[in-house]
Amino acid sequence: MSDISYYTEEGYKALKDEVHHLVSVERPKISAQIGEAIDKGDLSENAEYDAAKDAQGHLEAKIAKMENLLANARIIDDSKIDNSKVFILSIVKIRNQKNGSEVTYTLVAQNEANLAEKKISIDSPIGKGLLGKSVGDVAEIEIPAGVLLFEILEISR
């Protein structure tokens, strides 16, 4: 059974480009390494051949996994997102009620999360806590160190 994954157009394109690179560049490179190792003779004691075959197995598994992700990918139409509540692709400005610090995050699918770009997963504790909230609501987010309270200041897309 496959799980549907949600992507932005950019995230979907990046996934598609990576699969294309693996298939059109990395796969032929490993095939060439296997061919070179075969040309060296006895395969029973050929470490280069064994390493190349292992690399090929890992690559094929990665390609299969990523092709499965592509097959089950859905692109999110951000023009239909309601800004009255926090949903995936919402840009949310929040204030930590304990220390007063403010931060803005974009909620994205897990496979597109990148904290350096302030993109957090809807599956993360903060993402889960913010989903469905409106401006003015306070989200109680349970983390291992305790409970954080974040006030929703602004929602946009």
Q: What is the pLDDT of residues 3-61, one digit of tens each?
A: 777 788 888 898 899 999 999 999 999 999 888 888 877 767 778 888 888 999 999 99
78-156: CATH architecture: Roll (3.10)
Please state at what angle helix 47-71 crosses helix 9-21, rounded to 10 degrees: 150
The whole-model pTM stands at: 0.66
99: which DSSP letter?
A: T
CATH code for the part of the protein at 5-75: 1.10.287.180
pLDDT digits 0-9 by tens, 66-78 = 999 889 888 877 6
Domain boundaries, the chain: 5-75, 78-156
Q: In 3D, which of 78, 62, 82 has the Cα closest to residue 70?
A: 62
